[in-house]
Amino acid sequence: MRVALYTETFLPKIDGIVRVVCLTLEHLQRRGIQAVVVAPEQGMREYAGAQVIGVPCVRNPVYPEGRIGFPTLGAYRKVKAFAPDLIHSFHPVNIGMMGVVHGHWLHKPILSSFHLDIAHMAAHYGLPLLGALLRRLVTFGFNQSAYSLAPSRLMQAKMRAEGVKKVGWWQRGVDAEQFHPRFRREDVRAALSDGHPEDVLLLYVGRLAPEKNLEGLRAVLENVPNTRLAFVGGGPQREALEAHFAGLPVHFAGYRTGRGLAEAYASADIFVFPSAFESFGLVILEAMAAGLPVVSTRVGGAGDLITEGETGYTVAVGDVQGMVEGVRRLASNAAVLKAAQQAARAHAERFDWSVIMDALIDCYAAVIAGEPPRI
């Protein structure tokens, strides 16, 4: 089997989409499946045995950390020379839509997967007309594919409601050995809590951006005694957030990856995720694997992962008081918090990436054979 992946974002950028693309390429390599990846040109040439075919790109004016790639005849020729059996579009917007077009030109089956609610994001940034146009474009791209995959039950229902015809569910997983409570480090906890490890340490991991609704966490710190907050990640809102949380027990740790990220998770107590929208929220599962209960808005895969009152709580988007109460229930009782931490870890152990990626490969095989996929 030979697979060509098309993605709007790739290394050296680090985000949830890039992590899923990299995990997919790594698993394909382990299974002896050859792959290439078409991505914005940012200096990468190879990853996990797969050639990276870079296309010209410019900075995204709405999302400065992102890139907008442009199709080229050279990229098409390289993919044609690779002779894929299947095209996998990681969201059919720009480069992803290029993959859909290339699939039709090459007469190869196309699988498209949902990774970013870009239409919602455009509307959130004050561009509703662009959002409506993007929604129609993305729905068209999915329907030009042989099969589509949603990252959560919530998103699967939304895609169907927006007119996508054939939608399966590609669950997300976690490396439960990479993210594990055993990586708790007292020195890391001391650093994240600014020297107050005895307090309840709340953690957020992800982009510091307006759509994450992070300002509302101020109310949690002001209303739940003996809590502190650490932000791991970076983004365009960092300076504004530093000003917003000035005088409160908040630590900005910057980007962390690998072992450093695993230690940050394991050294905290509760994970908080107030995002306005999310395709899945991979960080929720990583936090649970590290033994953190989660208080999250009902976005992406939160409803698939969090058992109310057992592994955390979910609240409506914008429900600041709900976030306060969720954290309060966990933080105010040490026995309750410990039980929730243990339950979160036990639940996360069920989501092994190797099983989920093998299901994706089975889906590839079914699409290539023209059969109904099982996911």
Is-same-fold flag (2-173+352-369; 181-348)? yes
Q: What is the pLDDT of residue 62?
A: 65
Q: What is the pLDDT of residue 61?
A: 74
Half-sphere exposure (Cβ direction) of 235: Cα atoms closer than 13 Å:
19
Q: Is the pLDDT of residue 206 over 70?
A: yes
Q: What is the pLDDT of residue 120?
A: 76
| DSSP alpha helix (H) spans, the chain | 16-30, 73-82, 95-106, 118-124, 128-143, 153-161, 186-192, 217-223, 238-244, 258-266, 282-289, 302-305, 320-331, 334-348, 353-369
Q: Are 172 and 351 in contact (CB under 8 A)?
A: yes
Note the pLDDT tens digit of each residue in 224-258. 999 999 999 999 999 999 999 999 999 999 999 99
Q: What is the pLDDT of residue 281?
A: 86
Using H for helix, E for strand and C for coil, what is the string for 3-31?
Answer: EEEEECCCCCCCCHHHHHHHHHHHHHHHC
Contacts of 251 (CB under 8 A, 6+ apart): 191, 192, 193, 194, 228, 229, 230, 231
Q: What is the pLDDT of residue 63?
A: 67
Note the pLDDT tens digit of each residue in 122-174. 777 788 888 889 999 999 999 999 999 999 998 999 999 999 999 999 999 99
Verdict on whether the full-model pTM lies above 0.75: yes
Q: Are 203 and 271 in contact (CB under 8 A)?
A: yes
In this structure, CATH architecture of domain 181-348: 3-Layer(aba) Sandwich (3.40)
CA–CA separation, 198 and 18 (whole Å): 35
| Joined tokens for residue 127 | 């561009």
Note the pLDDT tens digit of each residue in 61-116. 766 677 888 889 999 999 999 999 999 999 999 999 999 999 999 999 999 999 98
Q: What is the DSSP string of 241-298?
A: HHHHTTTSSEEEEE---HHHHHHHHHT-SEEEE--S--S--HHHHHHHHTT--EEEES
Q: What is the pLDDT of residue 211?
A: 92
- Crossing angle between the packed helical segments 353-369 and 16-30, to the nearest 10 degrees: 70
Q: What is the pLDDT of residue 312?
A: 98
| Arithmetic mean of pLDDT, 28-40 | 98
Q: Which residues pair with 7 in a beta bridge?
A: 90
* Residues constituting the chain: 375
Among 257, 253, 248, 192, residue whose Cα is nearest residue 215: 248
What is the average pLDDT value for the chain, to the nearest integer?
95
Q: What is the pLDDT of residue 286?
A: 96
Q: Does domain 2-173+352-369 have CATH number 3.40.50.2000?
A: yes
| Joined tokens for residue 1 | 């089997």
Q: What is the pLDDT of residue 299?
A: 92
Q: Where are the domains of the chain?
A: 2-173+352-369, 181-348
